[in-house]
Structure 1
Amino acid sequence: MFNSDTYVVGQFATGSIRHQLVTGISLTRQESGFSGFSGQAAPIDLFNPVYGQPLGDVTFEYNIPGSMTHWAFTCKTRSPWLKI
């Protein structure tokens, strides 16, 4: 997984009102995937199980690669007189 956040904060005034401008970019990238197989197993007796029996032939095999990329751009103003 990769994540990067970069922001710049600038200050300016419009008349007597001061502002802060926050501008930034965020990038997240994640690689993931799923793989596996299926097949038949030997029947098992619940009251007298026999362990170590061989598995049957593989009937289905899959490998599903996947990735996600997320970009976000931010641009907003903040007035210092507003206290939260």
Structure 2
Amino acid sequence: MEGDIVEMGKFIGAGLATIGMGGAAIGVGSIVGNFLSGALRNPSAAGGQTAMLFIGIAFAEAFGIFSFLVALLLMFAV
């Protein structure tokens, strides 16, 4: 009985940890949408901002990957 409660807690914690992946997807969409909005308003400045676009996407995706790793650790490492 006690082992079942621990298993249930692991799966609930892993499910809650995956909320970060959804947040990362929303963040990437927001970054790209704002970049496209700005690029359509001022196309001449868009070329200089693409490096910052990719850095922003990388940071947002990194947080999603970290939350995925936490979920895997909660499910299999404990």
Structure with the largest fraction of strand:
1
Structure showing greater Rg: 1
Q: Tell me, yes or no, whether TM beats 0.5.
A: no
TM range (shorter): 0.3 to 0.5
With the length of structure 1 as denominator, give the TM-score of the two structures.
Answer: 0.31
Structure with the largest fraction of helix:
2
Q: Which has the higher contact order (CA 8 A, sep 6+)?
A: 2
